[in-house]
Amino acid sequence: MILSELIRNVPNFPVNGIQFKDITTLLKNAVGFKTALDLLYEKAAGKGITKVVGIESRGFILGGALAVKLNAGFVPIRKPGKLPAEKVSQEYSLEYGTDRIEIHKDSVNEDDIVLMHDDLLATGGTMQAACKLVESLGGRIAQIQFLIELDFLKGREKLSDYHVESLIHYNAE
């Protein structure tokens, strides 16, 4: 199965000039969903992962499922104002602006070996900020995973201190 064939391209979303990679078309395909999950699991198995950190919101889908398969806890990183308990936050740059993310202060500690997951790597700013949050709490990042990587945006360069895995690569918009 070629997973990239299950990804829908949506032009000019969320803003003009962006070619949005819609994963809902992969997720609604049972075989495609399972194949992606199994491949991501294979890349993380055997690394002693104790927590999977998923980034809002599409990172929750496969990230949560990976946590179950890895017998690990799941930790959400969310947009501001979504987490109810004490939290830490980090601002970052997007390919089309800036944003901020937050994590609960008690969600990760120095005993945790962490798998970071999001659906897509573009410029790398979101994941870079997420890694800073996890490390500020003492977590040790074993691996970063993405379903999709937009190679032409060179986001991997911001994550050069980490082991990064992506299933689907796009070399042009």
Tell me the domain boundaries of the chain.
47-170
Write the pLDDT tens digit of every residue in 49-104. Answer: 999 999 999 999 999 999 999 999 999 999 999 999 999 999 987 666 788 999 99
- Mean pLDDT calculated for residue range 100-122: 97
Distances (CA, A) of 71 to 28, 50, 148, 155: 24, 8, 24, 29
Catalytic choice (58, 78, 149, 156)? 58
| Residue 135 is a catalytic residue | no
Tell me the CB-side half-sphere exposure of residue 27, using CA atoms within 13 A. Answer: 13
Statement: 47-170 belongs to CATH 3.30.70.2740: no
Specify whether 56 is catalytic: no
One of 56, 78, 86, 95 is an active-site residue; which one?
A: 95
For the residues of 82-140, what is the DSSP string, one character each? ---S-EEEEEEEETTEEEEEEEETTS--TT-EEEEEEEEESSSHHHHHHHHHHHHTT-E
Predicted TM-score (pTM) of the model is 0.95
